[in-house]
Amino acid sequence: MPPSNYQVNRRRFLWQAACSGAFLPFMSFDNLESSKLRFGLVTDSHYADREPHNTRFYRQALDKMEEFVTVMNKEQVDFVMHLGDFKDEDAHKLEIDTLSYVDKIESVYGRFNGPRYHCVGNHDVDSITKQQFLTHITNTGIPSNQSYYSFD
């Protein structure tokens, strides 16, 4: 029996439940190979036409995204998702330039041969509106005015 000051946090609960086999009744191991879901995650591209600053290499984002898409296509993952900060801005913070950064990196991301999705990050709406960002990207099967969504 645990001591009286013993606290169960989420991590400890999940660890103990997994070790005790508590999740096994809820899991099906039939056809495990055929039921695998494979997806690719990428984040913090920060694409912009500007000089590097600290750990951000803005212009290299296009090449990095190209590599990501190539690998995901080769691996034939089920879908890809960008977790935010798709683009950045330059020192001038002009709306037209910022929108062109979204368009350029979206054109590379759009080469993925399957469904693709975006999460909106704070840098995605720094010098443009959320609605502007959403109309320049594609979330497969999701209306362009929705910034939150789910899919099966």
- The CA distance from 26 to 13, in Å, is 17
Residue pLDDT, tens place only, 91-139:
999 999 999 999 999 999 999 999 999 999 999 999 999 999 999 999 9
State the pTM of this model. Answer: 0.77
Residue pLDDT, tens place only, 34-45:
678 999 999 999
Neighbour order of strands in the sheet with 39-42: 39-42, 79-82, 116-118
pLDDT for 57 equals 96
CA 137 → CA 2, 53, 113, 131, distances in Å? 52, 26, 16, 10
Q: Say yes or no to pLDDT of 31 above 70.
A: no
β-bridge partners, 82? 42, 118
